[in-house]
Homo-oligomer: A and B are copies of this chain.
């Protein structure tokens, strides 16, 4: 079904509740854990017709959008203004804002602005009984009871169906610099990040990748490597500010552990540098179907996690290739393993157990969905899962909202 607004969504939900028919809500279908994919027999409820963009509130720096609007459509809408939306990622053309709310989408700017939860100043959502909750005035301070919007964000359609969101916008920062650093190891990358974070107020992204990934990207995209010589680890940094942050960054990055640096403040060369990082997913996919694990660990554990994960994969699957890249500043590593059988999940489990053992998460930004349900207990205690199940039963006693997703 493709309802057109919250009232129509509520009517669908009421009808399904009466019939005891389970519902799978769907946005742009860009999720990576199967949360929006029907498992068999459910009513597929698409939010894509909810594409309203309400008037830009320049005083509050907020805008209210329909759940079905794509991220790219919002970016287009804001292009002429001096405001921007903080969350950005590669699936912008298809991913809907409602889906991004439901999954608490992250991306490359979490370091500076937080993930989707931090951008949500209000929500409209339909509960499992068809009741519509609406809090869209965008008031910034509101300590009147439990934080329902924050609970609905990231609940992957299991507690409510998001129909509209009031989103915070940030100042559009006109001056951008991208720099790529070559360093010796993950500890050096982390040390560089620590150093920059204390000294550079304009840090917007701090990404990491490795020599083997860079080599794949250069081969696949037929581009030259960034430096004459190679380095084991690369750190890509983006800064944005009202005045050109190049000098600030250059002064702060003048440290011994940096072996090579390339920096750009013009659009074309900035995109060239980003390509080394953004080309990873495509370059890896060109080599086969990788096992993809999206984990996070506490920052201080990153160097030892990187070492352990390579060793563990090597021990379990000697012929496999482990390509790592991700969001250094968030402790979020995308572990890609090539050369495994599709059904063989021993490596997956080992990597997720390792992340959990360091106090990390089995899902940094992709969510749990259907694919990671069996791993949830690695990263959440029995008591936490019991509390989640109790909340689910309280808000959806008949279990009609996205059954089979998120919870065991």
Binding site for B on A (CB under 8 A): 57-61, 82, 103-104, 106, 110, 114-115, 117-118, 127, 131-148, 150-151, 153-155, 159, 171, 190, 194, 197-199, 201, 241-242, 296-300, 327, 330-332, 358-368, 372, 376, 379-381, 383-388, 390-395, 406-407
Interface centre among A131, A134, A145, A194 (most CB of B within 10 A): A145
**With A298-B139, A394-B391 in contact, do A58 and B144 touch (Cβ < 8 Å)?**
no
Set of chain B residues within 8 Å of A383, measured between Cβ atoms: 127, 131-133
Copies of this chain, whole number: 2
Q: Which of B60, B135, B242, B395 is close to A390, meaning CB atoms less than 8 Å apart? A: B395
Could you tell me the distance between the alpha carbons of A141 and B392 in the complex, rounded to whole angstroms?
22
Could you tell me the distance between the alpha carbons of A380 and B164 in the complex, rounded to whole angstroms?
18
Set of chain B residues within 8 Å of A139, measured between Cβ atoms: 296-298, 331, 359-361, 364
Set of chain B residues within 8 Å of A194, measured between Cβ atoms: 58-59
Set of chain B residues within 8 Å of A59, measured between Cβ atoms: 190, 194, 299-300
B361 touches A296 (CB 8 A): no
Query: Least Cβ distance of A109 to chain B in Å?
Result: 12
Q: Which of B104, B300, B385 is close to A143, meaning CB atoms less than 8 Å apart? A: B104
A142 touches B364 (CB 8 A): yes
A387 touches B127 (CB 8 A): yes
List 27 A-B pairs, Cβ < 8 Å.
Answer: A59-B299, A61-B197, A104-B143, A106-B143, A115-B141, A117-B150, A118-B118, A127-B387, A132-B383, A134-B381, A137-B359, A137-B360, A140-B299, A141-B296, A141-B332, A142-B363, A143-B154, A144-B363, A144-B368, A144-B380, A145-B407, A146-B154, A146-B388, A146-B391, A148-B387, A201-B241, A393-B394
Q: Which of B144, B151, B199, B366 is close to A242, meaning CB atoms less than 8 Å apart? A: B199
B150 touches A151 (CB 8 A): yes
A140 touches B330 (CB 8 A): yes
A106 touches B387 (CB 8 A): no
Q: Which of B115, B298, B365 is close to A137, meaning CB atoms less than 8 Å apart? A: B298
Could you tell me the distance between the alpha carbons of A360 and B331 in the complex, rounded to whole angstroms?
37
Could you tell me the distance between the alpha carbons of A131 and B386 in the complex, rounded to whole angstroms?
10
Set of chain B residues within 8 Å of A332, measured between Cβ atoms: 140-141
Set of chain B residues within 8 Å of A154, measured between Cβ atoms: 143, 146-147
Interface centre among A143, A146, A392 (most CB of B within 10 A): A143
Q: Which of B199, B201, B297, B362 is close to A144, meaning CB atoms less than 8 Å apart? A: B362
Q: Which of B127, B151, B199 is close to A151, meaning CB atoms less than 8 Å apart? A: B151
A153 touches B142 (CB 8 A): no
A406 touches B145 (CB 8 A): yes
Q: Which of B359, B381, B395 is close to A133, meaning CB atoms less than 8 Å apart? A: B381
Could you tell me the distance between the alpha carbons of A251 and B197 in the complex, rounded to whole angstroms?
27
Q: Which of B104, B142, B241 is close to A296, meaning CB atoms less than 8 Å apart? A: B142
B150 touches A361 (CB 8 A): no
Could you tell me the distance between the alpha carbons of A190 and B57 in the complex, rounded to whole angstroms?
14
Set of chain B residues within 8 Å of A296, measured between Cβ atoms: 139-142
Could you tell me the distance between the alpha carbons of A55 and B153 in the complex, rounded to whole angstroms?
32
A331 touches B140 (CB 8 A): yes
Set of chain B residues within 8 Å of A386, measured between Cβ atoms: 131
Query: Least Cβ distance of A243 to chain B in Å?
Result: 9
Q: Which of B142, B242, B359 is close to A361, meaning CB atoms less than 8 Å apart? A: B142
> Which residue of chain B lies nearest to A191 when distances are taken between CB atoms in the complex?
B59
Could you tell me the distance between the alpha carbons of A403 and B226 in the complex, rounded to whole angstroms?
63
Could you tell me the distance between the alpha carbons of A134 and B387 in the complex, rounded to whole angstroms?
12
Query: Least Cβ distance of A19 to chain B in Å?
Result: 22
Could you tell me the distance between the alpha carbons of A136 and B384 in the complex, rounded to whole angstroms?
13
Query: Least Cβ distance of A171 to chain B in Å?
Result: 6
